[in-house]
Amino acid sequence: MPATTLDQLVSLCKRRGFVFPSSEIYGGLQGVFDWGPLGVELKNNIISSWWRTNVYERDDMEGLDAAILMNRLTWRYSGHEETFNDPLVDCRDCKSRWRADHIKGRCPNCGSTNLTEPRPFNMMFKTAVGPVADADSFAYLRPETAQGIFVNFGNVLATSNRKLPFGIAQVGKAFRNEINPRNFLFRVREFEQMEIEYFVMPGTEDEWHQRWLEDRLAWWESIGIPRARIKIYDVPPDELAHYSKRTFDLMYDYPTLGYEEVEGIASRTDYDLGSHSRDQETLNLTARANPNRDSTARLTYYDPESRRHIVPFVIEPSAGVGRCFLAVLAEAYDEQMVKAPPSERVRAVADALEAFLKSVGRNEKLASETRDALVERGQAILRGLPETMPQIETLLAMPGADQIDIGKKLRGQAQGPIDEYFRTVLHLKPHLAPIRVAVFPLKRNHEGLVAMARELRTAIQSGSFFRTVYDDTGAIGKLYRRQDEIGTPYCVTVDFQSLEDGTVTVRDRDTMQQVRIPASEVRAYVTGRG
């Protein structure tokens, strides 16, 4: 079963080092996160899968990596200076600041309805290029990667000799000064986008829009997000971005959040190429482009059939890496009871949990929302015992839990049965798993076993595009559990029989079944399976 709360994912990411709050030792920076050792592997694998599918496996795509800093005029003519705004309101009572369209007229902090009128707030981060901060050095951090593609359209066309239709793919950082960053990686201020601008003949854009919708859904399926877990939201005209004629938002059913956008597929017409071109009056543009006196180029395509220069239309599939990462984790997450714990141990955990919740309820130092969140979560766990026992780890990682002394006792009661009777497992597709193979010696103080396991790790790793690790820091059962929790599909154990006949066991993460095969075949075995 996929994750049921965002807290389960936050807790796993913290526990196992997938994601850290940025500059945590100085109190962090709101809406900014760092990728830890396992997070960077999973993120990179998601990006490579996207790149492979959209660039290598098609014959109509080129790649690009444009700079984050661009001439300010880019953002004037793209329309972002004027329109990239969110409606901002202030609470007159508690002085907090909110996005008007997220709060339904009531301050989420103090409940007051005494709010200011909404006013536009431009979300682009500003900076200065060079030593003097004046009007000439003014620049923005890009709020989308797309514009780097549009302004390079002529360069790519001239150097690749592409014919329409063709696309340009890019993965890179984008920055938005979100008014209320929240929900972990879901709404942040610094994030990565995977974007495609696909250029088509005018008049064929509706057909290509549908084709891209299908192609993108197939990719989501290939990374473990079933079609049934995504809703397609046909964005109504009054919600469309300034450049869009029609947009399909792919909405994933996130734990706690419900259906939220993970990718937008927009039909951007000839708006962007038109807006960045000079001599617009000669181009027969259909979009209301921004009149441009600064551009030095006509971003057009010469159509040999009609012998005319035309401005291509654009279909743009654009997905956020962080939102994709969260969806992949949520979908892969599973807490399994491997065998039922004895009733007296369940009773002991239930008693410790009840005592913990009573202590939370009495604690005056905690803010009331923090207290309510802990009690609500804890009671849900209590009702679902024994199956919900692993969620106690999530509960104890929630804000405020570390201030309850009796939490240590609860952890002490629960940890034993959780380790013995449960496992948390990430059923990640093998090509996404941060680690594909873990190799263990049956005994860490046996020279022969250790040497063979180390050699085997090197042999599997060498020349592979996935990661293989050696581990001897615990008993085999514990090592299996640790690898299950981070989604490692294959655990290889070198035992005494290995020293005699050169075979090893390979354990499958999902079925927990083991096969014995020659060590020399392990690399082919794990490579051939995704």
Strand partners, 515: 506
Angstrom distance (rounded) from CA 453 to CA 504: 10
- Report the nearest approach of ligand GAP to the CB of residue 52 (Å): 20
- Report the nearest approach of ligand GAP to the CB of residue 426 (Å): 21
- Report the nearest approach of ligand GAP to the CB of residue 286 (Å): 20
- List C-alpha distances in Å: 485 to 34, 38, 170, 325, 413: 20, 11, 32, 16, 21
- Report the nearest approach of ligand GAP to the CB of residue 263 (Å): 5
Angstrom distance (rounded) from CA 123 to CA 119: 13
Tokens matching residue 342:
């004895």
Q: Measured in whole angstroms, how far is the alpha carbon of residue 143 from the centre of its chain? A: 17
Asked if 154 and 299 touch (Cβ cutoff 8 Å), the reply is: yes
Where on the chain is the footprint of ligand GAP (CB under 6 A)? 144, 146, 176, 178, 187-188, 191, 193, 195, 261-264, 316, 318-320, 322-323
Residues in CB range of 398: below 8 A, 6 or more apart: 7, 11, 373, 374, 377
Measured from the CB atom, the residue of 96 and 183 that comes closer to ligand GAP is 183
Measured from the CB atom, the residue of 194 and 439 that comes closer to ligand GAP is 194
Angstrom distance (rounded) from CA 451 to CA 411: 37
Residues in CB range of 136: below 8 A, 6 or more apart: none
Measured from the CB atom, the residue of 168 and 449 that comes closer to ligand GAP is 168
Closest alpha carbon to 40 in 329, 471, 326, 434: 434
Ramachandran quadrant class, 257 (left: phi over 0; alpha: psi -120 to 50; beta: rest): alpha
Measured from the CB atom, the residue of 181 and 386 that comes closer to ligand GAP is 181
- Report the nearest approach of ligand GAP to the CB of residue 384 (Å): 31
- Report the nearest approach of ligand GAP to the CB of residue 145 (Å): 7
Angstrom distance (rounded) from CA 259 to CA 249: 11
- Report the nearest approach of ligand GAP to the CB of residue 172 (Å): 11
Angstrom distance (rounded) from CA 354 to CA 375: 10
Measured from the CB atom, the residue of 102 and 345 that comes closer to ligand GAP is 102
Closest alpha carbon to 511 in 334, 285, 312, 369: 334
Measured from the CB atom, the residue of 248 and 356 that comes closer to ligand GAP is 248
- Report the nearest approach of ligand GAP to the CB of residue 146 (Å): 4
Measured from the CB atom, the residue of 142 and 509 that comes closer to ligand GAP is 142
Measured from the CB atom, the residue of 190 and 221 that comes closer to ligand GAP is 190
Angstrom distance (rounded) from CA 313 to CA 198: 8
Asked if 457 and 439 touch (Cβ cutoff 8 Å), the reply is: yes
Q: How far apart are the first and last CA of the chain?
A: 22
**DSSP H stretches of helix in 266-367:** 271-275, 321-332, 343-362
Residues in CB range of 307: below 8 A, 6 or more apart: none
Measured from the CB atom, the residue of 64 and 504 that comes closer to ligand GAP is 64
SS3 label, residue 503? strand
- Report the nearest approach of ligand GAP to the CB of residue 21 (Å): 15
Measured from the CB atom, the residue of 69 and 451 that comes closer to ligand GAP is 69
- Report the nearest approach of ligand GAP to the CB of residue 320 (Å): 3
Measured from the CB atom, the residue of 224 and 489 that comes closer to ligand GAP is 224
Measured from the CB atom, the residue of 157 and 171 that comes closer to ligand GAP is 171
Asked if 337 and 422 touch (Cβ cutoff 8 Å), the reply is: yes
> Which residue of the chain is nearest ligand GAP when measured via CB?
320
- Report the nearest approach of ligand GAP to the CB of residue 520 (Å): 44
- Report the nearest approach of ligand GAP to the CB of residue 143 (Å): 7
Tokens matching residue 482:
């640790």
- Report the nearest approach of ligand GAP to the CB of residue 11 (Å): 20
Cα-based angle 41, 44, 46 (whole degrees, multiple of 5): 110
Cα-based angle 186, 190, 191 (whole degrees, multiple of 5): 60
Peptide bond into 386 cis (omega under 30): yes
Measured from the CB atom, the residue of 324 and 353 that comes closer to ligand GAP is 324
